[in-house]
Amino acid sequence: MSVCIVLAHGDSSSLSSQVFLELNAVLESKGVEVLKQNLYKDEFDPVLPLDELKRRMSLDPLVSRYSIELGLSDRVIIIHPDWWSGPPAILKGWVDRLFRPGTAYDEVRDFPGDEAEFIPLLSGKRVDVVVLSHRDVSSESLQKFWQDDVFGWCGVVDFELHHLSGIGAKEAGEIGAWKRSLVRKLSGVS
Q: What digits encode the pLDDT tens for the residues 49-75?
A: 998 888 878 899 999 999 999 999 999
Pairing of strands 117-120, 105-108: antiparallel
- Domains in the chain: ranges and CATH: 2-187 (3.40.50.360)
- Average model confidence (pLDDT) across the chain: 94
In this prediction, residue 107 carries a pLDDT of 85
Measured distance CA(35)–CA(169) in Å, rounded: 33
Q: Is the pLDDT of residue 126 over 80?
A: yes
Q: What digits encode the pLDDT tens for the residues 128-178?
A: 999 999 998 889 999 999 999 999 999 999 999 999 999 989 999 999 999
Measured distance CA(31)–CA(71) in Å, rounded: 20
Burial of 149 (0-12, 13-18, 19+ CB in 10 A): exposed
